[in-house]
Structure 1
Amino acid sequence: MILILVSPRQRRLDLRAALGEDLGRTLLITGGPLPTGAEDAVLTVPLEEYGTEAIVAAGLRLAERYPIERVVSYAESDVIAAARLREQLSLVGQSPASAAAYRDKALMRRHTAAAGLPGPRSWCVEKASQVRAFVHAHGVPVVVKPRRASGSVGVRVLDDHSALGELPENLPDHVVEEFVPGTVVHVDGLMVGGEPVFALPAVYTELGCLAHLADQGGGSSLLPPEHPWYTPLVEELWNVVRALPPADDLLLHAEFFVSEGRTPVLCEIASRMPGHPIPPMLDRALDTSLQQVWTRVAAGLECDTEALGKRAAEGRLVANYGLPPRLGALAALPEAPPPECAPWVRDLEFGDGQVWDADRYARRKSGDFVLTWTVTAPDADTLQERLTRSAELLEAQVRWEPPPRDRGHEEAVMGVGAG
């Protein structure tokens, strides 16, 4: 049996297309909408509280009834649960030691530093006073972030000493590290049977994965193989993988800082699917669904990795872009790409939910979007021009209004709409 963990944030998972007849020997633990093909699984276990402890407990209960051979996960929140189940059931796949190194930002820094890889000085902290001590020792700017969060949640860039006063006094399980100047890029890769299959570097737009904090859209574009950063980034990805506790099969999403004339510096690395809308971009570059490829690899099923590697090496140029939620209610979204960019804007997708009230808005992640798309082009310059133009045209068609509750409150205060 193949046990598959489906987190609430897992998008458009098509198990029927990925597994075919093997879908009939799958078990699902879910925390949200059911994936395509779920009705053909042996059993689906929905969890109201979808978290590591509940997932492990549910998996162990299933193992009492079914002979589980593999555990498949996609999301960062599931990596530890999947690894613990493998260990307790004596299964192949990523171990807890490996999973922890890819999940815990402080632990991954220790491993890469021990391997001699470049990286910023950093401390584990629990209190704002420790951040102030780090700044006293090493200066500003610095970055403060949770050790195990994802989606850029809780990341703070402190540019000057005055910003220290805005920190909460308690910062449990955080790290503070020197700010690394340079361009932020990501590299997504796949390892099967201990051998690299592909690595695809891409450069983020200006604010990268922190753009949503400024209510700005953002995305990334794949680098062509001839770009001077391409080879150093691919090499550094595999250097980082070798520095961390090993696993035979790994789906990788890493971020690096790049400056001219310097070795890329690791920001962080994760062993899971990249956040949306990076997957549609990679799917276009690979001419297949990465989600489905990983499903087969993690399930121990046959996968043509040689063909996948060749497609990745072709250097197809694709970019992605997304518009983040704002505080309010969506009043208008484009139904289709504007005519002038329709031939090269692809994969237009709409996010979940029309209303972003104060509570939901405060909890938004870098992977939360109301509209996303990909862009294709014959060369790198044209790709950037089209990416910029598509963002201008599509964002102009998005309109926000105050949340219903706020709007009603304002009307009541102003006496509008009174009977």
Structure 2
Amino acid sequence: MANVAVINYGPLNDYAAMLPELVDGLHVLSHNDLANTADFALYEYVPDCEFVPYPELKIRQLARERRFTHLITDNEYDLERAARIREDLGIPGQSSASALSFRDKVVMKEVAQRAVATPRFARLQAINDLTDFIAENAYPVVVKPVKQGGSRDIVVLRDENELVEFSRRHWRDDLMVEGYVEGDIYHVDAVLADDYRFVASSRYLRNCLGVLSGQNNGSLQLHPQDKLAKRLEEFLDTTLGAFDTPSTGAYHLEVFHTPEDELVLCEIASRVGGSRIPALTRATYGLDLLTTWLRLSCGLPVDPPPSAPPAELHGSVAIVPQGRPVRAPDSPPFEWVRHYQVNKQLAPGATPQNSTSNLCFAIVRGADTQEVERRLLEVEDWLLAHLRERPSHEGPNP
């Protein structure tokens, strides 16, 4: 019998539906309370699961009585401890060294620069490390935590005044600095195994950091036969060639495309892309990234990756929180809007906290990338024009 340990984050993940062959062998410890868990071998809702050591302790205690054949997680912040447990318990999968290389952005770039172009970078121990880097490389520079995600706590310093303002913040012991790279940002999302390969490329509608200053964000897919899409896929393969990778892996790669037509690594993660990326992939390719990755990781069969060119492409745009109480409009009146959703958990007057922060978002379809982009900008204009002020005493969006 297969016994599978699961450290879960996603609030809507349905493991009974994703892994029905293994349901009575699933031991799930979850950051969010899940539905459809009655048939699991074990299920515990663990508040603050990703921040407390209890899940690791519990899995090790359970392993005294049963052998775990697999250990899986959907959460980037659990990759390192999942790898550590695997190594100690003799469970196949990603190693600790591999997990660290995809989590620590300094280690990541030290590894990646053997194969691809990266920005100049340095780990920061003290403020003089930052000033030395600026003296050598000039402004602008980007300062960020080495293990954070979603553009959280990232600061762009463009001049001495911004450096002084940054110096008034509490110093952190987990910072790095890198040179600012001009250009569009693309993302490549892949699930790779010995006998399986799915790769899809997209462009962010705007720089992800723009969300923190009030810019709306989103992404739009490239056709797989697009010349740049093929270059990005080759860039993924070249990048991964420098890393220790498990036999089955999911990857979310972000790449700068500079005005000089150079591809430069931004970051790469060994997990499924977040935000609306899985929904866009399902809409265009009929493929669920997380389900495919987890089933392959557990040795279960999956449908072959799509081979025919997609009939249409998709993109998404998210309206960021406005910093004032506003009501999101009803669904836009365009037949090409495939999905529209209002963030009902958003507090009135909220401000953007990370690259996924949104008041509402729309997914649109189109014949090609250009049409998708035109439609994203049109629906964005419509949504912004139909935001309505509302009393601050009201709760989240109805």
What TM-score does the superposition give when structure 1 sets the normalisation length? 0.86
Q: What is the rounded CA distance, in whole Å, between the counterparts of 1:397 and 1:66 in structure 2?
A: 57
Deviation at 1:155, TM superposition (A): 0.9
Q: Which residue of 1 aligns with 2:92?
A: 92
Q: 2:318 aligns with which of 305, 322, 326?
A: 322
Q: Which residue of 2 aligns with 1:310?
A: 307
Q: What is the rounded CA distance, in whole Å, between the counterparts of 1:231 and 1:27 in structure 2?
A: 40
CA 50–11 in structure 1, closer or farther in 2 if over 3 Å, else same: closer
Q: Which residue of 1 aligns with 2:345?
A: 353
Q: What is the rounded CA distance, in whole Å, between the counterparts of 1:96 and 1:309 in structure 2?
A: 32
Q: What is the rounded CA distance, in whole Å, between the counterparts of 1:352 and 1:54 in structure 2?
A: 31
CA 100–221 in structure 1, closer or farther in 2 if over 3 Å, else same: same
Matched-pair contact (CA < 8 Å) for 1:283–1:289: yes
Is 1:338 the equivalent of 2:332? yes
Q: What is the rounded CA distance, in whole Å, between the counterparts of 2:279 and 2:154 in structure 1?
A: 26
CA 400–280 in structure 1, closer or farther in 2 if over 3 Å, else same: farther
Q: Which residue of 2 aligns with 1:390?
A: 379
Matched-pair contact (CA < 8 Å) for 2:11–2:33: no
- Runs (5+) with no aligned partner, structure 2: none
Matched-pair contact (CA < 8 Å) for 2:25–2:40: yes
Matched-pair contact (CA < 8 Å) for 1:189–1:200: yes
Q: Which residue of 1 aligns with 2:148?
A: 149
Matched-pair contact (CA < 8 Å) for 2:119–2:180: yes
Alignment of 1:55-134 (within 5 A): 55-113=55-113, 115-134=114-133
Aligned length: 389
- What code does the residue aligned with 2:185 have? V
Deviation at 1:232, TM superposition (A): 1.2
* 1:50-77 deviation digits (Å, cap 9, x = unpaired): 2263332222123234332111111211
Q: What is the rounded CA distance, in whole Å, between the counterparts of 2:311 and 2:124 in structure 1?
A: 42
Deviation at 1:3, TM superposition (A): 1.6
Alignment of 1:159-170 (within 5 A): 159-167=158-166, 168=169, 170=171
Matched-pair contact (CA < 8 Å) for 1:128–1:169: no
Bigger proportion of residues as helix:
1
Matched-pair contact (CA < 8 Å) for 1:210–1:366: yes
Q: What is the rounded CA distance, in whole Å, between the counterparts of 1:323 and 1:40 in structure 2?
A: 39
- What code does the residue aligned with 2:134 have? V
What TM-score does the superposition give when structure 2 sets the normalisation length? 0.91
Q: What is the rounded CA distance, in whole Å, between the counterparts of 1:177 and 1:231 in structure 2?
A: 27
Q: Which residue of 2 aligns with 1:135?
A: 134
Q: Which residue of 1 aligns with 2:247?
A: 248
Deviation at 1:261, TM superposition (A): 5.0
Secondary structure of the residue aligned to 2:361 is strand
Deviation at 1:212, TM superposition (A): 2.0
- What code does the residue aligned with 1:182 have? G
Matched-pair contact (CA < 8 Å) for 1:191–1:250: yes
Q: What is the rounded CA distance, in whole Å, between the counterparts of 2:295 and 2:36 in structure 1?
A: 15
Matched-pair contact (CA < 8 Å) for 1:328–1:355: no
Q: Which residue of 1 aligns with 2:176?
A: 175
Secondary structure of the residue aligned to 1:297 is helix
Q: What is the rounded CA distance, in whole Å, between the counterparts of 1:6 and 1:160 in structure 2?
A: 42
Share of identical aligned residues, percent? 26
Secondary structure of the residue aligned to 1:38 is coil
Q: 2:6 aligns with which of 4, 8, 13?
A: 4
Secondary structure of the residue aligned to 1:150 is coil
- What code does the residue aligned with 1:71 have? L
Deviation at 1:116, TM superposition (A): 3.7
Matched-pair contact (CA < 8 Å) for 2:191–2:292: no
CA 260–135 in structure 1, closer or farther in 2 if over 3 Å, else same: closer
- Runs (5+) with no aligned partner, structure 1: 406-419
- What code does the residue aligned with 2:332 have? P
Note the aligned Cα RMSD (angstroms): 2.2
CA 20–354 in structure 1, closer or farther in 2 if over 3 Å, else same: same
